[in-house]
Copies of this chain bind each other. A is one copy, B any other.
Amino acid sequence: MGEFELIDRFFTRKARQALVGIGDDCAVWMPSPGHQLAFSADMLVEGRHFLSTVTPRHLGHKALAVNLSDLAACGATPRAFLLSLSLPRVDEAWLSGFSEGLFDLADAQSCELIGGDTTQGPLNIAITVIGEVPSGQAILRSGARPGDDVYVSGHLGDARLALEAFRGDISLPQVTFDLARRRMETPTPRLALGVSLRGLANAMVDISDGLLGDLGHVLKSSGVGARIDLPSVETLMLATASWDCPRDCLLRCVLSGGDDYELLFTASPAHRDQIQAAALATLTPVSRIGVITSDPALLVLTEDGQTLNSTYHSFDHFASR
């Protein structure tokens, strides 16, 4: 199968919102009046962002999900994406599973594949997503204000736990492993919550490199600090329901796990009721875990008010670990 047949067979569908979709030099597309555009790009490499054990279907889901998560973190609505794919060989079963996982999520979010590229080479998946947000309503990292509550959506740490199990660093009961693996391989981009936080959240980021690392980006961009309540964070790992996680492992996973694709956001305490309503309306768990401070330090406080001596770092793709 050649390049063009591959594209035709697995990736070309009738253009919907796009004026010109796949098959010309460019996709042509009309933005909605009164909206700004949000763009994000993520590249996935085997061994760094996924393991060889992942099914093609889950990989297709995840490749788009991590990109959509960036749109969610701005409060943007997904509209379209471009996919560049480098493949060692044409493997029809792989392409079939990958494209199904990709399009299932794309269709669920009305996000149209409008272009891209395929080539032969080491497996590499590069996606650019395009979203829209009403002008001036994008939620940035730089808007956190002293006194803001700090929230996270969903659950933290399970993806990291799965990674440690795959590496053989820990051993998990099967039910716990299955759950953690699902969290790692099929993350849920929190798009509905992100949109519903427009006008409520002052700052937002998605947690891809770990809670403390990504919170650190918000603090630095906003010129503020934070106090994080450790007991509120410790309960966020799903796996602890079926497995008694050692404390050091628990802290490492929830504080600096990475691959969570949950939203971290800050909002005025005046909006607490509206935020709980948004969480309910979008069926997304939301937990209040701390407060923004004018002092620029990031402190994690234990139950008895002591500062956790944190050595938990965020994920760095060029660090060796």
Task: Give the interface of A toward B (CB within 8 A).
Answer: 1-4, 6, 19-20, 23-31, 36-43, 45-49, 70-71, 73-74, 76, 80, 82-86, 89-90, 114-122, 124, 126, 128, 130-131, 133, 135, 138, 140-142, 204-206, 221, 316-319
Contact = CB atoms under 8 A, between A and B. Distances in A.
A271 to B, nearest CB: 21
Number of copies: 2
A116 B41 contact: yes
Contact of A43 (B28, B86, B206): B86
A3 B49 CA distance: 15
Given A26-B131, A85-B43, A318 B3 contact: yes
Counting chain B CB atoms within 10 Å of each CB, which of A74, A83, A117 scores highest?
A117
A208 B1 CA distance: 20
Contacts of A23: 141, 221
B318 A2 contact: yes
A73 B42 contact: no
A118 B319 CA distance: 12
Contacts of A140: 20, 24, 28
B25 A119 contact: no
Contacts of A133: 28
Contacts of A316: 2-4
B3 A45 contact: no
A138 B90 CA distance: 33
Contacts of A37: 28-31, 37
Contact of A319 (B2, B27, B80): B2
A124 B45 CA distance: 10
Given A26-B73, A84-B126, 6 more contacts: A26-B70, A31-B37, A41-B117, A43-B85, A118-B317, A119-B317
12 contacts: A2-B319, A24-B221, A26-B70, A29-B36, A30-B37, A30-B135, A31-B31, A39-B82, A39-B128, A41-B82, A82-B128, A89-B318
